[in-house]
Structure 1
Amino acid sequence: MKTWLVNTNIRPENGNPNAFKYMLRQNKAAAFYGRAVEIDNICRGDLVCLYHNDNRIIAVGAVVEPYQGHDFEEMELIEHWVDVNWLWKADFNDSFEPLNSIDRRELGIKMVNGTVINITDQVNYKELLTQIAQRPIF
């Protein structure tokens, strides 16, 4: 099992500031356009932490299905995803700001440069479970 940090890229200059809503609602961790193929390294049973800018993790889940490809070849260039069973998701206010996110630094995650990052060796799993347990599930 590996643990992955998947950036939701909410900044408008990244082209899809609402992708995090799609991922949470559709039970997916996704990467888009030039970064799409980075998702292909994630396997069934791996853990995914959705990373929201400003050091915030907004969801943690287990991968139940790796990327299987698209029915339409044109879509291969746009999006790749894995299906995720979210074990915990942050609560959001009316402006879609997370109210109870987890600070990635409290988990020992130092390197966050990229869209899909293997953080298996960085995560303090005891602290991750403690942080989840301290937050209600909505």
Structure 2
Amino acid sequence: MKVWLVNTNTKGKNKNPNGFKYMLRQNKASAYYDRASEVDRIKKSDLVLLYHNDNRIIAVGAVVNHYEGHDYKVLNEVEHWVDVNWLWKASFDNNFVPTNSINRNKLGITMVNGTVGNVTDQVDYKALFEEIAMKQQF
């Protein structure tokens, strides 16, 4: 099992500032445009940490289906995705700002280059699951 940090690319210059809502609602981790194929490395049973700007992790999930060649055109650009069962998702206020996100720096996850990154060697599972337990809202 590997752990992947998947960037939601919410900044306006990335052409899809609401992509994180789509990923959370559709239970998928996606990449678009020239970085779409980065998702192809993620396999079934891997763990995905959905990364939002300002060092925030907004969801943690297990991959239930790896990429199988399903391309989908969004605004004339290709999307690649893996199906994810979100084990934990942050809560959001009315402006879609996460209210209980997990700070990746607190977990020692320093790699944020690119849209999809293998951070397996940086993850302390005990610390990650302790953070999830503290951030749960019922």
The TM-score with structure 2 as length reference comes to 0.94
Query: What is the identity, as a one-letter code, of the residue corresponding to 1:49?
Result: L
Query: What is the identity, as a one-letter code, of the residue corresponding to 1:45?
Result: S
1:81 equivalent to 2:81? Answer yes
2:121 is matched with 121
**Structure 2 residues not aligned, in runs of 5+:** none
- C-alpha displacement of 1:43: 0.2
SS in 2 for 1:39: helix
Question: What percent of counterpart residues are identical?
Answer: 66
Residues 89-136 of structure 1 deviation map (CA, whole Å, 9 limit, x = unaligned)? 000000000000000011110111110000000111111000000112
Residues 53-106 of structure 1 deviation map (CA, whole Å, 9 limit, x = unaligned)? 00000000000001112377x679510000000000000000000000000011
Query: What is the identity, as a one-letter code, of the residue corresponding to 1:87?
Result: L
1:22 is matched with 22
Asked whether the 8 Å contact 1:89–1:137 carries over to 2, the reply is no
What CA distance in whole angstroms lies between the structure 1 residues aligned with 2:107 and 2:34?
Answer: 28
Judged with a 3 Å threshold, the aligned counterparts in structure 2 of structure 1 residues 71 and 41 are, in CA distance, closer, same or farther, namely closer
1:96 is matched with 96
Cα-Cα RMSD: 1.6
SS in 1 for 2:99: coil
Kindly report structure 1 stretches of 4+ aligned residues shifted beyond 2 Å: 74-77
What CA distance in whole angstroms lies between the structure 1 residues aligned with 2:40 and 2:77?
Answer: 13
1:112 is matched with 112
The TM-score with structure 1 as length reference comes to 0.94
1:67 is matched with 67
1:36 is matched with 36
**Structure 1 residues not aligned, in runs of 5+:** none
